[in-house]
Amino acid sequence: MKLKSFNYIIGLLIILFYTPLQSEEKKIDIWDKNKEKKMEIPKPLDDEGALKSKVKPLQTIEAIEKIQIQEDFVKQPDEQKVYGIYEPANYDLNLNMWSTTKAEDLRSSLKRINKIDLSRSSEEILEGILFSFSYPPQGMNEKEFVNLKINWLIKNDRIELIESFLKQNEQFESKSKAVQYLVDKNIASANIKEGCDKIKFIDAKIKDAYLEKFKIYCLIFNEKKSEAQLLLDLLREQKQSSKFYDDKINFLLGVTDKTSNKINEKNLLNFYLSSITITDFKYEPSKQTKPEIWKYLNAANLIKLEDASDKKKLKELEIAANSNQLDKNKIFEIYKQVPFNLSTLINAKNNYKALDESDARALIYQKYLLSEGNKSKIEYLFLLEELFKKADLTNIYSKFLSDKIEEIGIENLPEDYQELASTRIISDEDLILGKVKYNDKILHQSKILKYYVEGESKKKVQKDIDKIFNKITKNKKYFISAKDLALADTLINDGFSLPSNFKYDELSKKFDVPNNLLKLIDNDQKAFLALKIVEIIGEDEPYELDPETIYFVTNLLNKMNLVTIRNKVLNSALPLRT
């Protein structure tokens, strides 16, 4: 017994001593600095959500590599997730791109940006920053960060990017909101066949009650009622259906021969089901009517003014059209229906002043339609413009006026109207930059740019630098512009050698870079700096910026090594194009 007790005690002591050693070894192994911590990022699609730019670095991500979190990055909790579309490295960023930025700074910047009608370049840069996979900024949780992204996509109607976001991020806050938006876009078109075809793009892995309800209706629409019944039964088992939905689908399936005449406005799908199942469906929209319902009413031609003399209703529709809720052409259709006697029409220029505002606009519009000569037409068009301005309804009229002037043709108007009429034309055509034409007499237009435009070899470009810079610096009449310095700064940043007689440091002193932006560099706020660049470029394309702004924007991007964004700015701002 003594021997057994002794052996037991010895065994116990060995276990007690051995266990801490094992634990300690594991602990040391976990924090071994020689090991690298990696994270897999989902692969974005090649054909969706891409930046539509000719600049190679900003094209769609074709391959996703593992993102290595370097030792000097801010450590994030293991359970924290990242959401996005693009690999941050494609924009010279990383997962911790917002780690040194305060949440309030990001919110404020985006709030200002949302008030700007961004140019194509500004929007592409913003999308690259905002939808790169990353952790949220200081003071913002995952939920708010992903909501911020989804809200931006919905506000800007970025359907392709929403689809891409759904495919690459399986579970996230606002997923149902994003799916419902896509479904509603299809319903609002009033082309259900096309809508049911388009909805197939959504990955089968994405499960959402609203989406499943629409899929069931699409099966009924395509005469696949047995399949629809199976899905409906499953939806009911999961307790994701509703009394209203069951009533409408049972009626459409032929299970029942009666359905409620109540119009349900809870969501667009319910409203749509109401409109197709109620005999002689009638609905009067109001200020409280949801935007998606307005769109459907427009597309389905369900907005009618049965009594054209109903001034109250007409004014409500005018306000809706001015707010982009109602198709603006609908207002002019109604104007044609407003009854006037022949005497009133003949003396329209005198009689309109005594009429109600809406009637006055209707009268002048009808008089315009009856006019034969171009001079008479343009006079009534400008008079109608004044009436819309007076009522603060110019959003209804500006595009209409532009279209009518283009139909007549500026050259066909009396000379005293031509200049004024030309200022009313709104161009919807996107600018096409055209082919680059190199001009070696101007530094920032020279063939040195081939390195950035065409991917010319570094060795060949260095020879061009030596030749062109020397030629220009010897020309005492040549003025070194801010655009020239933007190119010089970029070349230095990219490792090229400039001739010693080109005094870049001295020349650059006359251009000041804003201190508040330089502080962002000191704080290593790459992503936030890029966001500020979006604010600076704003509604302009880079080539429309003044030379000094082009220089300091380029300089900031070089300092932060944001090469991809810098190349986009340079390729727009510097080359001469034909």
Q: How confident is the model at residue 224 (pLDDT cuts 50, 70, 90)?
A: very high
* Side chain identity, residue 105: D
Identify whether the C-beta of residue 149 lies closer than 8 Å to the C-beta of residue 60: no
User: Where along the chain do its domains lie?
Assistant: 2-35, 39-139+148-158, 174-303, 308-422, 436-577
Model confidence at 550, pLDDT cuts 50, 70, 90, reads very high
What does the alpha-carbon distance between residue 367 and residue 369 come to, in Å, rounded to a whole number? 5
**Residue 137 contacts residue 101 (beta carbons within 8 Å):** yes
pLDDT the model gives residue 61: 35
Residue 468 phi, psi dihedral angles, 5° rounding: -75, -45
Q: Which region among 81-90, 123-132, 238-247, 321-330 has the lowest average model confidence (pLDDT)?
A: 321-330
Nearest Cα neighbor of 58 from 576, 573, 571, 575 is 571
280: left (phi over 0), alpha (psi -120 to 50) or beta: left
Of the pLDDT bands very low, low, confident and very high (cuts 50, 70, 90), residue 47 is very low
Q: How many CB atoms lie within 10 A of CB 448?
A: 26
Lowest mean pLDDT among 11-25, 48-62, 332-346: 48-62
| CA neighbor of 484 nearest in space, from 566, 570, 364, 558 | 570
Rounded to the nearest angstrom, the gap between the alpha carbon of residue 7 and the centroid of all alpha carbons in its chain is 75
Which helix (H) or strand (E) segment is 331 a member of? Answer: helix 328-337
CA distances from 180 to 70, 176, 455 (A): 39, 6, 44
**Token pair in block for residue 344:** 């009133």
CA dihedral of 15, 18, 23, 28, whole degrees rounded to 10: 180
Give the DSSP letter string of 456-490: --HHHHHHHHHHHHHHHHH-TT----HHHHHHHHH
Rounded distance, CA 542 to CA 565, Å? 11
Residue 4: strand pairing partners: none
Task: Report the DSSP pairing between strands 67-69 and 436-437.
Answer: unpaired
Q: With a cut of 50, say whether residue 66 has pLDDT above it.
A: no
What is the reported pLDDT for 377?
93
Residue 247, number of CB atoms within 10 A of its CB: 18
Comparing CA positions, the residue from 553, 577, 575 lying closest to residue 566 is 553
**Dihedral sign, CA of 179, 185, 188, 190?**
negative
Find the range with the poorest average confidence among 41-55, 141-155, 326-340, 483-497: 41-55
Distances (CA, A) of 203 to 45, 206, 210, 408: 13, 6, 15, 49
Q: In the predicted model, what is the mean pLDDT of residues 499-511?
A: 90
Across 236-247, average pLDDT: 94
| Structure confidence by residue, pLDDT tens digits, 96-105 | 999 999 999 9
Classified as helix, coil or strand, 304 is coil
Which residues make Cβ contacts (< 8 Å) with residue 302, sequence separation at least 6? 275, 281, 283, 296
- Which residues lie across from 576 on neighbouring strands? 437
Would you list the DSSP string of 385-440?
HHHHHHTT-HHHHHHHHHHHHHHH-GGGS-HHHHHHHHTTPPP-PPP----EE--T
* 307-315: long-range contacts, CB 8 A cutoff, minimum separation 24: 308/334, 308/337, 308/338, 308/339, 309/338, 309/339, 311/356, 311/358, 311/359, 313/284, 314/338, 314/358, 315/357, 315/358
pLDDT: which is higher, 359 or 41:
359
d(CA 153, CA 126): 12
Number of C-alpha atoms within 13 angstroms, CB side, residue 339? 5
Comparing CA positions, the residue from 504, 520, 516 lying closest to residue 472 is 504
What percentage of the chain reaches a pLDDT higher than 70?
83
Question: Mean pLDDT, to the nearest integer, of 231-255?
Answer: 94
Please give the full DSSP string across 542-554, using - where no structure is assigned: GGGS-HHHHHHHH
Residues β-bridged to residue 132: 86
pLDDT band at 437 (very low <50, low <70, confident <90, very high): confident
pLDDT of residue 180 exceeding 80: yes
